[in-house]
Amino acid sequence: MPEMPEVQAHAERLTEDFAGAVLDRFRPLTFTALKTFAPAPEAAAGHPLLDVGRRGKHLLLRFEPVTFVVHLMQGGRLKPDEKQAAKPRGGQARWTFADGRALLLTEAGTERKAGVWVVEGDPLGQEPLDHLGPEADTLDRAELGRLLADNPMRLHGWLRDQHTLAGLGRRLANEICHRAKLSPFASTGKLDDDAVDRLHAAMGECIAESLAYERTRSDMSSSKDRPGAVHHRQGEACPVCGDTVRAVEYRSYTVNYCPTCQTGGKVLADNTTSKFLK
Ligand SMILES: [Zn+2]
């Protein structure tokens, strides 16, 4: 799933290419794409796109009367629509502009989870953004410490919980735990001050490095292309210590870690027993 750095860099590219373009019409291409009944998306017709912003993993297409909040979920993409085909593959929704260009929201696969919310006024206090925690790159050390203690969970899951902290997913959770030299299964309620210091520094570094990389791209990179130390690198050597990167597999995702850097050399049990560690 695209995480904060990919979505942020994409929002910046879309702003550069489409800001100022006047919307001709918005059209959902499936029954599930538009998640709201009111206000009507037609309210934006005739208005220029102000910019494309981001909150958590959501894109915000701002027009003066309404904002379109787009969640890409796992397989969604929002791209310039060169062909403007009547039935585009995976097509979910299309914004057509008066200058003839268009943006197309597609979703690979059959999950139908990507979607568009149309909201009036400040979108931050409304669905689907109202339950998001603070942006992961805006927390100071003290606030991070307080949030960790307030909601004791396994660290990897805590980092990915959008209600606690917005913007991080599996890849950054893996990379941040490794950078901070913390077990992905450490309890957030038991981290000492030194561990919270390392976690805070690791979050800032990993997010900044990812964003810098994504800004060099002309489109969202795929997960396997992104630089990193442990994510999707099981069996490879840890770039810090040379130990073998390990994996704990879950049904829908994988936790990667380096035993020497993160778990005192302990290799964690794989999937059959690891459900007890979740
Ligand atoms: Zn290591």
pLDDT digits (tens, 9 = 90+) for 139-180: 999 999 999 999 999 999 999 999 999 999 999 999 999 999
211 Cα: distance to centroid of ligand 1 (angstroms): 23
pLDDT in tens, 100-118: 999 999 998 877 789 999 9
C-alpha to C-alpha distance for 17 and 88, rounded to whole angstroms: 22
The token pair at 248 is 């704990």
- Provide long-range contacts, Cβ within 8 A and 24+ apart, for 10-16: 10/59, 10/78, 10/214, 10/219, 10/220, 11/52, 11/53, 11/54, 11/59, 11/60, 12/52, 12/215, 13/218, 13/219, 14/52, 14/59, 14/61, 14/78, 14/103, 15/51, 15/52
What is residue 177's predicted lDDT score, i.e. its pLDDT? 98
175 Cα: distance to centroid of ligand 1 (angstroms): 12
Could you give the count of Cα atoms lying within 13 Å of 74 in the half-sphere of its Cβ? 9
C-alpha to C-alpha distance for 261 and 240, rounded to whole angstroms: 8
222 Cα: distance to centroid of ligand 1 (angstroms): 24
What is residue 225's predicted lDDT score, i.e. its pLDDT? 76
The token pair at 147 is 């949030």
Q: Is the pLDDT of residue 262 over 70?
A: yes
230 Cα: distance to centroid of ligand 1 (angstroms): 9
C-alpha to C-alpha distance for 220 and 211, rounded to whole angstroms: 11
C-alpha to C-alpha distance for 29 and 27, rounded to whole angstroms: 6
- Bridge partner residues of 78 (DSSP): 105
For the chain, what is the radius of gyration of the CA atoms? 20
Taking ligand 1, which is a single-atom ion, which protein residues have CB atoms under 5 Å away?
A: 238, 240-241, 243, 258, 260-261
What mean pLDDT is predicted for residues 233-255? 93
C-alpha to C-alpha distance for 141 and 138, rounded to whole angstroms: 10
C-alpha to C-alpha distance for 266 and 66, rounded to whole angstroms: 52
What is residue 53's predicted lDDT score, i.e. its pLDDT? 98
What is residue 223's predicted lDDT score, i.e. its pLDDT? 67
Say which DSSP state 258 is in. Answer: -
What is residue 112's predicted lDDT score, i.e. its pLDDT? 77
264 Cα: distance to centroid of ligand 1 (angstroms): 10
162 Cα: distance to centroid of ligand 1 (angstroms): 28
22 Cα: distance to centroid of ligand 1 (angstroms): 51
Phi-psi region of 153 (alpha: psi -120 to 50; beta: other; left: phi over 0): beta
C-alpha to C-alpha distance for 234 and 255, rounded to whole angstroms: 10
Better-predicted residue by pLDDT, 109 or 247:
247
2 Cα: distance to centroid of ligand 1 (angstroms): 26
What is residue 200's predicted lDDT score, i.e. its pLDDT? 98
C-alpha to C-alpha distance for 76 and 70, rounded to whole angstroms: 9
147 Cα: distance to centroid of ligand 1 (angstroms): 27
181 Cα: distance to centroid of ligand 1 (angstroms): 8
What is residue 278's predicted lDDT score, i.e. its pLDDT? 43
C-alpha to C-alpha distance for 10 and 57, rounded to whole angstroms: 11
What mean pLDDT is predicted for residues 79-107? 96
What is residue 147's predicted lDDT score, i.e. its pLDDT? 96
Say which DSSP state 29 is in. Answer: S
What is residue 109's predicted lDDT score, i.e. its pLDDT? 81
246 Cα: distance to centroid of ligand 1 (angstroms): 10
257 Cα: distance to centroid of ligand 1 (angstroms): 8
240 Cα: distance to centroid of ligand 1 (angstroms): 5
Number of neighbours of residue 270 by Cβ within 10 angstroms: 11
What is residue 271's predicted lDDT score, i.e. its pLDDT? 56
Give 204-220 as a DSSP string.
HHHHHHHHHHHTT-SSP
170 Cα: distance to centroid of ligand 1 (angstroms): 18
242 Cα: distance to centroid of ligand 1 (angstroms): 6
